[in-house]
Every structure is written in C-alpha cells, then in structure tokens.
Structure 1
Amino acid sequence: MTNRTETIRENELNKQKLHQKAIASLCSKLGVPDLRAGNITIRDERNWRTNEIYIDYSWLVNIAQSYKGWCWLFSIKFNKTEFREFKNPEKLIQGLFTIDNQGKINEFYMITKTNEFEDKIRNLTSYDMFDANLGITLDGVGYEYLIFAPNTEIRMTLNNPNSESWKIWEKEIWTISKKLAQDSEIEELNKIFE
C-alpha cells in the first residue's frame, strides 16, 4: 500500500519528467539544444558545429486552468552573435504550445520580435515568496514557472496566487497569453483563455 508521502514524491517526480519533456520538445521545435542562458553551440547530425547563439534568458510557464485545459507560455531572449557567415540578430521570441502525455508538441504558435524587446515578465522584480496564497486552493489556475538566467535556474509552483506582487505577474501572464492565443487562431489555445 502506498502512503501519502510516497504518492506526493511520485507526483513530484512525474511533474519533473513532464517539465523535461516539455523543454526538450520546445528545444527540438526551435532547433536549439538547450534553454540555459549563455553561449549555445548548434550542431548538425554529424555533431559538427554549425552555428553559435547566445541566450540571454528564458522562462516558461505551464498554465493549467480547471475545467478548461493547460498549455505552456514561453519567452526566450537571444543576444546578437556572429559565427562564420551567420549573423544572428538580437531577438525575443514568445509563444504558446500544448503537449501530449508523452511530451510531444500538439499545438504551437510563436512570434519573433527583432526591434522591440520589452518583456514585461522579465522586468518584474518583486515577488512575495512566502505568502503568494494563504487560502485553500481547490480549483482555479495553477502555474509551473521555470526561469533560466545566467548562473540561475528557478522552478516554482503557484496555485491561485492572490498576493499583490503575484497578481501583477498573473495579469501580465494572461495579457501575453490571451494575445498570443487570439493571434494564433488555434481553438484549443483560445478556449483556455476565454
């Protein structure tokens, strides 16, 4: 018989595996080997270096809304780099995607910004780390927040955050997500943010 503690630990391991599969699927879709911040080498099937890019930072948020569904929102900031004949521009990409239970991407939508780099989530700097929600959270919206920055990897779980700082964050997450979902014209994504 499995006790409650073992079940909780098993669920945490499964969540970690799902995060890894989501990251791997996104990397594959974008043609990058990793989302970590710093210099990233792109290699071909022979393992020969074909390009080098620099990721300034990236973040992903799994948004799970009760009775509506779930998806991932992401933002990746690339710095300008040059490698041989390649001139990689500074750019910010943001998008939404869904995955199946094996971690494969089902729906995908992305935009690229090359002249405007405002990332409101990146610019938020104040979070209430211990009192995000002191109430009971049965239904509503849950978030898995993953951040990759220089010398930093952060993973957080939030359920119905209601502190002032997290409500600001949540509002921005929904503003970005709704806009991307509408622009995508993908019904499955739009249903989550109705």
Structure 2
Amino acid sequence: MDTLLESDLDKFPRHQKIEKLLSVQLGIPSLKAGKIIIRDHRDWRINEKQIEYCWLINVSRAFAGWCWLFTINFKETKFRDIANPAESIQGIFTVDDNGAIAEFYKLTRDASFRDDVKGLTAYDLFSASPRITLDGVGYEFIIFGHNSEVRMTLDNPDTENWKIWEKAVWELGGELAKRSGSKQLEEIFN
C-alpha cells in the first residue's frame, strides 16, 4: 500500500502489477482500450473482444483499509461463431500482502448500463482542495481510453466537481461491497 513517502515513480510499477493481476483474474490479456485477443493455454486464439474504455480507482481510507474499483466496457463484437455482447464488467477487489488478489467481486451489466463515473467529465484538474487531508481518504484514478491513458492521485477532493465524482465512486463502491458480502470491503465504504 502507499506510504506517505511513495513518489509518483514508485506508484507506476505498482499500478502495472495491479493491472496485470486484474487482467489475469478476468482472463483477458490487458486493460487497454481496443481489440484484445484471448488465447488458451496452448496460446491459440479462442476469442477477440474490444474494450471501449476501462477505469480503475484505488480507494484508500485511513483506519478502514483500501480496495480497487473497476469498470471495463466491452463493445459488441463477433469472433468466428462467438457473439460477444456489449457489456460492462464492474468490480471491487483487494490485494493481500503477498501481492495476490484477496477479496474479489465482479458484476456484469448489459448494454443499457449507464456508467456514472465515466459520465462525469467536468473536472477542475488544478483544484482538488487546498486544505490538509483530515478525513484520511485518498484516490488513485487510472483511465484507459483509445490512444489515452490518464493517471491521477487525489487527496481530500472537496471542490464541487470532485465531490460529484467522489459521490459516484462511493455509491458504486458501497453497492459492490455490499453485494460482495465482504465485511472488509463494506467497512471501507461505511
């Protein structure tokens, strides 16, 4: 987990490891937007899907713990005689001290799903908050879109636009934590 002294350069390898852990857990080669080729144990191509976008958010709450939330949005595609529907996978997970996924829950939503976190596009990137973080909540927000990858770290995001974003994150996190049945995850969002 983050320490107060961790630099942004130290976070990047950790983010890469988290991305790889999640990809393996979901049986896909990467989280990057675009066409992904799914292979079996013999390295034979068994399916192709297309990721429209993906985001990951690390929620770290003092004295309660931390977890990752994610959404991966797949476009409708066809590979040979496999019809891949348009769908979104949302989930929540933690990573244990050995670097493995510990708690994991995912939910598949159909094409009518509205992603509230993606739908928020008005961020004031230079004004999360000028004050000291007293509530002990921090975020790492990673976004994968076509030809873009954005990484942000936020502490105490209490400006108007960031509070709207934070509310959407907490609503989703609370829903997924409750559905997961994990007391550890539920405690983070209480």
* TM class, shorter-length: over 0.9
Partner residue of 1:46? 42
Counting aligned pairs with the same residue, the percent is 50
Q: 2:71, 2:91 within 8 Å by CA — same for their partners in 1?
A: yes
Select which of 48, 62, 67 maps to 1:66: 62
Residue of 127, 131, 139 corresponding to 1:131: 127
1:13 alignment partner, one of 2, 5, 9: 9
Conserved 8 A contact 1:21-1:104 = no
State whether structure 2 residue 4 is matched by structure 1 residue 30: no
Q: How many residues align?
A: 188
Counterpart residue identity of residue 152, structure 2: M
RMSD of equivalent CA atoms: 1.7
Query: Residue 117 of structure 1: CA displacement?
Result: 1.8
- TM-score normalised per structure 1: 0.92
Contact 1:71 1:96 in 2 (8 A): yes
**Deviations 1:88-132 (CA, angstroms, capped at 9, x unpaired):** 111011110000234310000111011422001111110000011
**Alpha-carbon separation, structure 2, partners of 1:8 and 1:140:** 12
Change over 3 Å in CA distance of 1:86–1:116 after alignment to 2: same
CA contact (8 A) 1:148 1:154 kept: yes
Name the structure 1 match of 2:89: 93
CA apart distance, 1:9: 8.3
Gaps of 5+ in 1: 1-6
Task: Look at both structures and tell me which one has the larger radius of gyration over its CA atoms.
Answer: 1
With normalisation by structure 2, the TM-score equals: 0.93
Deviations 1:40-94 (A, max 9, x none): 1111222221110000000000000011100000001000111012111110111
Give ranges in structure 2 of 5+ residues lacking alignment.
Answer: none
Aligned with 1:146 (options 124, 142, 145):
142
